[in-house]
Structure 1
Amino acid sequence: MKLFLGSLLVAGLLTLGCEDNNQPILGVDDTDPNPTGGPASSITVLSPTEGFLKDVVVIQGSGFNTTPGYNLVRFGNKVGTVTAATATELTVQTPNLADVTVMVQVAVKGSEVWSNELPFTFKPTL
């Protein structure tokens, strides 16, 4: 009986720990796992093109979602924080990187492809 109750408890915890498949999960290596056929975004300008960790970068382009959380911006293998968004401009706080040049890309909810890449250089910290 104890084995049955233990198995039931484990099964219940595993079920509670599962994520809702209807919610998009954007990760540094993944675009939207539930794409709706949305087009890829495009980056035309990064401003500035170099800076320090936690600096603010403005990304101009097209195809961005106006909800900040529906845009994923990666700096190499790290993710920036989108603080504001329009269809043509994202305001992003850079991640914790230093003394490296990385490629910046954007993924938007509904699209299954990443944007083009532009370089950003993180200056060395003291």
Structure 2
Amino acid sequence: MYQKEVQIRVRYAETDQMGYVYYGNYAMYYEVARVEAFRSLGFPYKSLEDMGIGMPVLSMNIRYHQPAKYDDHLTVKVTIPDKPRARIKFIYEVTNEGGRLINTGETELVFINMDTGRLTRMPEVMEKLLEPHFA
């Protein structure tokens, strides 16, 4: 299992008329956490694109426990629970600075060859970086 925590400060533009984080912005928070998780492994997401590999989202499930508000300091914990192959699953837990659970979610992405649009396996270099977390 691989985990990474990412800090996000809620910006005013991310809130709705009630002052709560607009529900659609959690997908963006998840993406920030995924990108930073790859970067912390030593394999920035841009490296995937440079190899001609994309990672479209296949599915997303989300649960809102309580609202986050403007200027809240959020922690997004992203977990890769299973060793990826052609698909990769991420689990998210968003908490505020007080440790209160704000949001939980899960996404499943696939690796595709960007030239053909067909599924492909996770790149070998990425597999080697993740291997110690699933030994």
TM-score, length-scaled by structure 2: 0.29
Structure with max Cα Rg: 1
